[in-house]
Structure 1
């Protein structure tokens, strides 16, 4: 009986797992992204959006309607809260709202290590904070590990020089990354929230920066001291972005008022996503042979790529308009021997089925392979804050000249002096011999006579 009961329990468990996998597979086949919203049920009743702030209500409704996500709502205290099942991510995106408690119900299934692994598995996370609540310890530790250090509970952002009725006013000048957040509605934004410090992690970048006169403190009316402030001046940040080398994205905002459709689209990779449609390289004199594996020193080479940007649910040509965003190619063997900027050629089509729809922008570089044989790499490493990273490496062999490929002496201008010298020596010797044999003997014969 005991064995039969255990068999039944295992059968139920396997059926449960199969159901989860079947649902996930069905959703993926339909192209529906899975999103999890984690909240504190004592602060938010997400089943009744009329009872929460307009920003949070708009967030939840937009995730379903505008973004088309299949949404799951769970509380931090839920015992079944987890990000993975059978070591596979259950969701594509994660939204973390503020909490009144530092603890999490299912510490084993939802902790800082699971959050880091979620990023490593190309998941995207949107974190919301404010000055009156906290984030669970595991979420805060995860943010610290990424390099984001939000202020503790009770620390609020203050700016006495740029405020209206005691509420700090942000302008478009506070936006540090225009690629992610273009502008505030009306050019101004009333901000009631907290700030954060960031590390020197090269994958972190500020989105909204504090003004020079702004600071984060828990003592609004009293005297400002070092112990009472968390950020001061432009060292404080009100919204921060992170993008991993695998292009997984993380956004932290210090107030619900900064929940913005542009930020959500960026976080969930619905905008500012670049794609390398094709890469080609070939000899200048033999364009029909593409992607050669063997080149010769001093060959003239053409390198072309097609880059697309995802916008409005389709791929469009990605045209570079600023010098800071220039694409660059490195031809390297340990160190770069050539580093050249790619020049724009124009929009084109990446499709091979005859479809001429312009979905990519073509860039090219024309350069001479250095006079050094060995194993070289065509390396394209394009990393700009706010844009998904493009990395492509193509390894080729560069050989030296064959014996019959060297220039002959008369083809080398510097050798003409030596060739002429040799010719003059031969000519001089010939004249000397003629003079010795004939001119000298004629004189001797005349004397004998």
Structure 2
């Protein structure tokens, strides 16, 4: 009984920490649900799945229409991410539907969706909710008569060799091989004003979207570099989504295939698909580009204790530590564009923080001559990195009545005038009273 009582007390004391802890605080040991149209995809896409397993990600494979699919029980999610390799599935099994997937994303969890020319309305609706619009015409595919792969095309030039990649090391790494990425599938578009959607792999200027089995009767709706082949989304809550118009992009066949782009003399023994997909999946699962802030401190210059309020014109110091997940541990994040706002309705002070190259960012400034409730605010948004939003309220008060300086130098003429008036009145009174 005593041991059970101690165990219960331990759970009670640990419970607040368990609730506060986020699955993104440590992006290791993730559980991922993989939904497939056909279990044969486990073998035809084995290289991709094995790369996830080698990185310590636990995969749970199920058919997309399995009636026993559960994303959560008793309000707790069972998985940290979802891979949807079921482009033709019209209806998902269990309680899983479009609303459940959107709720899953809203809970800070990640999603990978692969479509193809047979994409169902469900897949297209998921894309719309995530900010992209897959080509709505049935049986259309992306065609490119100039940037196609020499080997593997049946004359319709739907197997594209694309090197139109986003220039971001944090998302795609350094891309050591430089081999083009093979793509066969449908294109999609996004609204230009939507800053949350990033085109990772784009069509070339000669690409267009059409049905390869029929002649064009009108101009295609998607053309050129406006065609997105693969896009990523990072939501406001830092959930990450990968949207691909090709399921074959992840296949062993394209991973192992040699590639030569039409019009190029360079031939590669292996396509860039494996490197591209591996780096992209690392980003989606927060194995890179994931930031966290901690140890926020502020105090008056010359002191170490955090005050309950500041006075106008106080000199203060502010510091924060920022770290980046390297895939195995938290490493210092080094940048020169982290800014602090001292904010009340609008920024009164804006400072670029100085770093010691070890994760510590700091600055100092004088409190403005305005009193009220201010905020120390950091809003850090950089392409490829999770956004940081750190704020702390602090009151700023005016001088107290006994904190003003006495006998100001600039007021000496007024002091002199006052004392001169008093002396003159005293002399006048004596002369007036005693002069006969």
Using structure 1 for the length normalisation, give the TM-score. Answer: 0.73
Answer yes or no: is 1:211 the counterpart of 2:196. no
Task: Kindly state the Cα deviation for residue 67 of structure 1 after the two structures are TM-superposed.
Answer: 2.2
CA offsets 1:42-61 (integer angstroms, 9 cap, x no match): xx5145x1xx2xxx221222
Distance 2:420 2:71 in 1: 89
- Contact residue 293 and residue 395 of structure 1 kept, 8 A: no
**CA displacement 1:361-416 (0-9 Å, x = unmatched):** 1111211111111111111111223111211111111010111222345344xx46
Residues in 1 aligned to 2:79 and 2:133: alpha-carbon distance in whole angstroms? 25
What residue is the counterpart of 1:318 in the other structure?
333
Distance 1:300 1:198, change over 3 A: same
Separation (CA, whole Å) in 1 of partners of 2:79 and 2:238? 16
CA distance in 1, matches of 2:30, 2:173: 26
d(CA) in 2 for partners of 1:297, 1:400: 6
1:16-415 to 2 correspondence within 5 Å? 32-41=29-38, 45-46=40-41, 49=43, 52=44, 56-64=45-53, 66-104=54-92, 106=93, 109-130=95-116, 132-134=117-119, 136-152=120-136, 153-165=138-150, 166=157, 167-171=159-163, 173-184=164-175, 185-199=177-191, 200-219=193-212, 222-223=215-216, 225-226=218-219, 228-229=220-221, 231-255=222-246, 256-257=248-249, 260-286=277-303, 288-289=304-305, 291-320=306-335, 326-347=337-358, 361-412=359-410, 415=411
SS of structure 2 residue aligned to 1:37: strand
Q: Give me the whole-angstrom Cα distance separating, in 1, the residues matched to 2:82 and 2:294.
A: 29
Q: How many pairs were matched up?
A: 368
Question: Is 1:177–1:207's contact at 8 Å kept on the other side of the alignment?
Answer: no
Question: 1: CA distance between counterparts of 2:409 and 2:323?
Answer: 46
CA drift at 1:164: 4.2
Does the residue aligned with 1:292 lie in a helix, a strand or coil?
coil
Please report how far the alpha carbon of residue 335 of structure 1 lies from its aligned counterpart in structure 2 after TM superposition. Answer: 2.0
Runs of 4+ in 1 over 4 A off after TM superposition: 418-421
Aligned to 2:286, the other structure's residue is in SS state coil
**Secondary structure of the structure 1 residue equivalent to 2:79:** coil
Report the Cα offset of residue 150 of structure 1: 1.9
Quote the offset at 1:183 in angstroms. Answer: 5.0
| Contact 1:327–1:342 (Cα < 8 Å) also in 2 | yes
Q: Which residue of structure 1 aligns with residue 13 of structure 2?
A: none
Q: CA 1:220–1:341 in structure 2 vs 1: closer, same or farther (change >3 Å)?
A: farther
SS at match of 1:186: coil
For the residues of structure 2 that align with 1:224 and 1:411, how far apart are their CA atoms? Answer: 88
Distance of 1:407 and 1:220 partners within structure 2: 88
1:11 corresponds to: none
* Unpaired stretches in structure 2, ≥5 consecutive residues: 1-27, 151-156, 250-272
> Which structure: larger Rg?
1
Contact 2:170 2:288 in 1 (8 A): no
* Structure 1 residues 186 and 251: alpha-carbon distance in aligned structure 2, compared to 1, 3 A threshold: same
For structure 1, the 5+ residue unaligned runs are 1-30, 348-360, 442-449
Tell me the TM-score normalized by structure 2: 0.75
**Does the 8 Å CA contact 2:210/2:216 hold for their aligned counterparts?**
no
Q: Distance in 1 between the 2:207 and 2:405 partners?
A: 70
Q: Distance in 1 between matches of 2:148 and 2:416?
A: 87
Shift of 1:98: 3.8
CA distance in 2, matches of 1:390, 1:306: 12
Judging changes above 3 Å, is the alpha-carbon distance between structure 1 residues 225 and 284 closer, same or farther for their aligned structure 2 residues?
farther
CA distance in structure 2 between the partners assigned to 1:410 and 1:86 by the alignment? 69
* Contact 2:87–2:114 (Cα < 8 Å) also in 1: no
Q: Specify which structure has the higher proportion of helix.
A: 1
TM superposition shift of 1:224: 7.1
8 Å contact kept, 2:65–2:89: no
Q: Deviations over 1:108-128 (max 9, x none)?
A: 511001101111222211112
Shift of 1:193: 2.7
Kindly state the Cα deviation for residue 202 of structure 1 after the two structures are TM-superposed.
Answer: 3.7
Aligned CA RMSD, in angstroms, stands at 3.0
